[in-house]
């Protein structure tokens, strides 16, 4: 007899699963229909196959919206009987993290990807005109392949995909699920990974997946061109979409850099993490493809290279997905998913589009419009082609090194990555960047097809010399001369690119508007490289620990103790040009914020600048994740990260004590042996970290939760505690009731004290105050790392400028299409 489980909300899951199956079936219908509309009904303007293809794609789009709505309904209402809601969300998450929980898991990511492809497919139905049928055949086929990733059905004992509507009791084989009332024991979900609880993760994944999805459009045009033997016509159609894909994916990648900079303990905006590397594979190859597509459009040269780069870009999108979602990088990346049982399905996805590309190229090889005539060496097209080759080589290097775990899995080898992987990437990729930045500069002085050589060398030489002078100034001011010589060369190339393209942009304002897009994009890239080089090459750790203290064996394994300083609560510490103080902490569930006060003291001893940073630690799913806080200036950032703190991390839902005084608990073991002091009003008690002023006695003091009667004697000692320049008030109580003596101690946590009013000495006109001090080992402290990033705003500004350049280029290419 089947168990009837209580409290489950099965309807939204059933509806959602229905939409999943419907979306897959509709995509399959659309693919088949568009295929026959392209082949059998190619000459019929309003064929039934064509109409059926559209209907299938519209139905696929509506089904995707339906399953997305159902999944969000499940997540928002905390239906933890569904594995996806339980695994990636919790009741304590604010709404915006509930939204990001939608794409937190594998299934949600694939759903987001297929949603964006559906949006783009509908745009193509509206805009593609004579290209609709072959192009939509490819897009619908991509929807079919993506649809299998979330099917979650078994065929002949083989599971295809993973459904986001899988029930918890079917996902986990735990004894509790034999209980019909198991939901009564599941009060909350696991919550979200602490590193993902950042506002950038609300907007970064949707942008990144739109970038990935956008790559299908130029791919579909390339496949359609080869398939329909319309070898030349597809190029102009694909260029605006290729530019759009570069713009969006580039934006998504940089948003990931913002996330790394603000949330992860990378100590910067890029860590050469394998999944980070994988995300830029398709961006690099598509940027190269755009340039070669323009070369072919202008000269008829490099058709195969342009087509190959467009095709391989979409294969790279799938390979990127394989690297991040198959679990193959689980030991080398903080970003990778577990395989979720889809390892071989992801491999198959890569192979499907790779084989399709290779077969089409081989089949049409003899018919491809490949010119026999060499290009002019001094033409802009030739050097654009060379630049694209170097971009391809850059991607190939990243691909080979990042894929070391793949090679080991494939061939049973034990190849180890370079010992200093960051230095390896920096040197090799900087070499490629030097060549590419030079080419983005001097190609602007070349003409399409042929150039006046003398004029070119004269102009280029002048600009290179001017760029060298600018570079020398930058190198001297920033101190980058202490870094690798390759960095200096890249700086030179980047400065040259900005100056050369600045000249082109100035010409654009004189009427040559069609040049503006590429010039702005290249200027943005140049600024991006300048900012990255200065920030990464001259970033300075200012939290230097000269005590030699390593804090703990676990800490030493993960951090460099030399770059982390210990700061006790309310005890200022000199750190570089700053005086830093840990002045308190607060809880805003699920985050634990630590307040760090920075004071910059001038030569005259006065405070020139003061600010408070609030780096945080987050305890969730049994993990602690610390996120930095940053003070932004125009020309540098001050980045502060908590690497350790005491007392131990608070459990979920536990509250921290407020600063100030509160009642004593039975915790004398947390203090050193008390010291008694006989004092009168106006006296001062000295202790290790400051002094206590006895301001007076209060005969009207109140005792919390105790009703004072007329026969009771209640006296409070009004004490002012001064510790490291901070003042606190405390009123310990002395009470006589029915001939018995009681005292109520007060704790001042921020000063590490507990104070007791223990005796009244009328013959001496004094009272006895007992002072308990926390030992040094029990005092609250943080261990923090502070890094100064100079000129990081050049990096962010360069990104924005580059995106604007892509947008202007899209407008230009769309205008050219209308003119045809």
Counting Cα atoms < 13 Å in the Cβ hemisphere of 597 gives 17
Residue 590 has pLDDT above 70, yes or no: no
pTM of this structure: 0.82
Q: Output the pLDDT for position 660.
A: 36
Average pLDDT of span 400-405: 90
d(CA 690, CA 511) in angstroms, rounded, equals 72
Residue 548 has pLDDT above 70, yes or no: no
Residue 452 backbone dihedrals phi, psi, to 5 degrees: -70, 105
- pLDDT per residue over 772-807, tens digit each? 988 866 778 888 888 888 888 888 899 999 999 999
Residue 338 has pLDDT above 80, yes or no: no
From 340, 341, 347, select the one nearest 323 (Cα to Cα): 347
Q: Could you tell me the CA-to-CA distances from 658 to 110, 618, 750 in Å, in that order?
A: 45, 19, 9
- State the virtual CA torsion across 803, 808, 813, 818 in degrees, nearest 10: 130
* % of the chain exceeding 90 in pLDDT: 40
According to DSSP, residue 647 is labeled S
- In sequence order, which ranges of 616-705 are alpha helices (DSSP H)? none
d(CA 260, CA 269) in angstroms, rounded, equals 5
Higher pLDDT, 786 or 141: 141
Neighbour tally for 31: CB within 10 Å: 24
From 589, 587, 596, 585, select the one nearest 628 (Cα to Cα): 596
The residue assigned the tokens 């106006």 is 682
* Bridging pattern class, strands 713-723 and 690-698: antiparallel
Cβ 770 vs Cβ 676: under 8 Å: yes
- pLDDT per residue over 226-279, tens digit each? 999 999 999 999 999 999 999 999 999 998 888 877 766 555 677 788 888 889
The residue assigned the tokens 């010399």 is 465
Q: Kindly state the tokens that stand for 516.
A: 């503006």
* Bridging pattern class, strands 578-588 and 591-601: antiparallel
Q: Measure the CA angle with vertex 702, ends 698 and 705; round to 5°.
A: 160
Cβ 783 vs Cβ 580: under 8 Å: no
């Amino acid at each position: 007899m089947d168990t009837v489980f209580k409290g489950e909300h099965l309807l939204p899951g059933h509806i959602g699963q229905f939409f999943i199956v419907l979306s897959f079936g509709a995509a399959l219908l659309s693919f088949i229909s568009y295929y026959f509309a392209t082949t059998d009904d190619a000459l019929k303007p309003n064929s039934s196959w064509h109409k059926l293809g559209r209907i299938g794609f519209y139905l696929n789009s509506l089904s995707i919206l339906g399953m997305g709505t159902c999944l969000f309904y499940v997540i928002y209402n905390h239906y933890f009987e569904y594995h996806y809601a339980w695994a990636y969300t919790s009741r304590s998450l604010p709404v915006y993290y509930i939204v990001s929980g939608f794409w937190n898991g594998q299934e949600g990511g694939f759903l987001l990807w297929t949603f964006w492809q559906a949006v783009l497919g509908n745009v193509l139905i509206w805009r593609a005109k004579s290209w609709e049928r072959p192009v939509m055949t490819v897009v619908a086929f991509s929807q079919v392949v993506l649809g299998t990733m979330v099917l979650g059905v078994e065929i002949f004992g083989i599971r295809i995909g993973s459904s986001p509507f899988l029930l918890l009791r079917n996902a986990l084989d735990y004894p509790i699920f034999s209980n019909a009332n198991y939901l009564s024991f599941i009060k909350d979900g696991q919550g979200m990974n602490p590193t993902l609880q950042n506002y950038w993760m609300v907007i970064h994944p949707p942008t990144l997946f739109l970038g990935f999805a956008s790559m299908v459009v130029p791919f579909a045009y390339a496949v359609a061109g080869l398939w329909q033997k319309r070898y030349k016509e597809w190029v102009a159609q694909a260029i605006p979409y290729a530019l759009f894909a570069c713009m969006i994916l580039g934006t998504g990648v940089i948003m990931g850099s913002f996330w790394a900079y603000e949330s992860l303990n990378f100590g910067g905006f890029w860590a050469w993490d394998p999944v980070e590397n994988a995300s830029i594979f398709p961006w690099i190859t598509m940027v190269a493809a755009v340039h070669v597509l323009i070369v072919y459009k202008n000269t008829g040269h490099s058709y195969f290279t342009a087509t190959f780069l467009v095709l391989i870009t979409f294969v790279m999108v799938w390979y990127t997905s394989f690297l991040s979602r198959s679990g193959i990088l689980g030991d080398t990346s903080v970003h990778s998913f577990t395989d979720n049982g889809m390892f071989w399905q992801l491999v198959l996805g890569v192979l499907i589009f790779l084989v399709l590309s290779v077969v089409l190229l081989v089949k049409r090889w003899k018919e491809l419009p490949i010119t026999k005539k060499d290009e002019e060496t001094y033409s802009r097209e030739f050097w654009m082609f060379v630049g694209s080759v170097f971009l391809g080589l850059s991607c190939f290097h990243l691909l080979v090194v990042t894929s070391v775990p793949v090679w080991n899995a494939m061939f049973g080898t034990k190849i180890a990555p370079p010992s200093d992987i960051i230095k390896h990437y920096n040197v090799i990729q900087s070499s490629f960047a030097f060549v590419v930045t030079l080419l983005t500069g001097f190609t602007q002085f070349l003409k399409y097809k042929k150039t006046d050589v003398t004029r070119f060398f004269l102009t280029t030489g002048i600009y290179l010399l001017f760029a060298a002078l600018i570079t020398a100034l930058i190198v001297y001011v920033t101190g980058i001369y202490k870094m690798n010589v390759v960095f200096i060369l890249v700086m030179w190339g980047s400065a040259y690119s900005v100056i050369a393209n600045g000249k082109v942009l100035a010409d654009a304002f004189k009427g040559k508007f069609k040049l503006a897009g590429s010039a702005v994009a290249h200027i943005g890239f140049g600024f991006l490289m300048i900012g990255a080089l200065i920030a990464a090459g001259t970033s300075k750790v200012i939290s230097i620990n000269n005590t030699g203290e390593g804090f703990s064996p676990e800490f030493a394994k993960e951090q460099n103790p030399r770059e982390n300083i210990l700061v006790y609560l309310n005890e200022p510490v000199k750190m570089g040009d700053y005086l830093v103080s840990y002045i308190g902490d607060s809880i805003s569930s699920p985050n634990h914020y630590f307040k760090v006060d920075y004071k910059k003291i001038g030569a005259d001893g006065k405070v020139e600048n003061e600010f408070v940073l609030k780096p945080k630690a987050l305890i969730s799913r049994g993990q602690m994740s610390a996120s930095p806080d940053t003070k932004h200036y125009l020309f540098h950032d001050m980045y502060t990260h908590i690497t350790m703190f005491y007392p131990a991390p608070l459990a979920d839902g536990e509250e921290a004590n407020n600063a100030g005084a509160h009642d004593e608990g039975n915790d004398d073991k947390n203090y050193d042996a008390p010291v008694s002091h006989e004092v009168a009003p106006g006296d001062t008690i000295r202790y290790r970290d400051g002094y206590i002023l006895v301001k007076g006695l209060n005969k009207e003091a109140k005792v919390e939760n105790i009703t004072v009667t007329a026969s009771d004697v209640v006296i409070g000692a009004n004490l002012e505690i001064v510790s490291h320049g901070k003042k606190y008030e405390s009123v310990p109580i002395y009470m006589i009731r029915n001939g018995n003596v009681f005292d109520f101690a007060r704790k001042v946590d921020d000063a590490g004290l507990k104070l007791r009013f223990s005796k009244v000495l009328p013959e001496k006109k004094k009272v006895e105050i007992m002072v308990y001090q926390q030992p040094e080992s029990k005092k609250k402290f943080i261990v923090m790392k502070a890094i100064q990033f100079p000129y990081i705003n050049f990096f962010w500004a360069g990104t924005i400028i580059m995106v604007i350049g892509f947008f202007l280029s899209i407008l230009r290419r769309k205008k050219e299409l209308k003119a045809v």
